[in-house]
Amino acid sequence: MNLLVFRPDYEVLTHYVSSYLDAYVVGNASKLGFKVLDLYKDEAIAENFFANIEGEDIVVFGTHGLEDKLFGQNGELVLTSCLNDQVLSGKICFALACRSASKLGYSSVDKSCLAYFGWLQDFVVIIDESYESPLDDPYAGSFLRPIVNGINTMLLSFAYGKRVKEIVDDTYNTVVEMFNQQIEYWKTVETPTASQMVTYLYWDRDHFIPIFKEAVYVPTPIYIGTALKGLVAVGLLTLPLLFKST
């Protein structure tokens, strides 16, 4: 099981996102048995990404995005829909980034990416700049913990050998459930700031989507007992005759 984590760190959003991925995903993935390639900061560049993407099962991005693009360290363009997104073929991709689900997600799934988790709109976070470490910031944590929990659920489901549809369901439900818990908490706090927290928790929850193709699933085989096989065969052979006689 191979996991690539791509996390540039060069300004406030990437610093927050990369901190949460480092603290909650990278180490946890190793414990689950994943061989983790962590492309961080100056290593989170296109050259390293394309040199290592083959052979990865899951790719997690924590970066800036646009509808059809994902970026690396210092804003370097890495992935563009219909240009080089075929490299996600056969992989599961979680893009913690703005907007990329709306075009890049669909485009990569068209090119056989097994599942693409991302946002249809800008991903928004309220932060408190007075905290030295992003991990101590309770405001940012309300937005980022649901996501790292969702990523860990995705890794766990994959490690259990679940099918793509089950991995998608588990991951999506975890993210939404965790956002709902945060929303319920902030609703109990009667301050205008809490009201703003609720506004953007709804925003991030409602623009998160998984994109996948049912067609890629390996269907569960229908078991037919040996004794019944003959009957089924006779049934199939006689079926056209029944239609003909009516």
Interface positions with other proteins (CB under 8 A): 11-13, 16, 64, 98, 121-130, 139, 187, 191-193, 195-196, 198-200, 202-203, 206
Buried b (16+ CB within 10 A) or exposed e, 18-34: bbbbbebbbebbeebeb
Q: Are 118 and 97 in contact (CB under 8 A)?
A: yes
Rounded distance, CA 40 to CA 25, Å? 13
Compute the least distance from the CB of residue 50 to other proteins, in Å.
24
The residue among 54 and 206 lying less far from other proteins, judged by its C-beta, is: 206
Compute the least distance from the CB of residue 195 to other proteins, in Å.
7
The residue among 30 and 193 lying less far from other proteins, judged by its C-beta, is: 193
The residue among 87 and 144 lying less far from other proteins, judged by its C-beta, is: 144
The residue among 185 and 203 lying less far from other proteins, judged by its C-beta, is: 203
Compute the least distance from the CB of residue 185 to other proteins, in Å.
14
Compute the least distance from the CB of residue 181 to other proteins, in Å.
15
Compute the least distance from the CB of residue 67 to other proteins, in Å.
12
Rounded distance, CA 129 to CA 8, Å? 20
Residue whose structure tokens are 């899951």: 58
- As a whole number of Å, the end-to-end CA separation of the chain is 56
Q: Are 102 and 70 in contact (CB under 8 A)?
A: no
The residue among 29 and 79 lying less far from other proteins, judged by its C-beta, is: 79
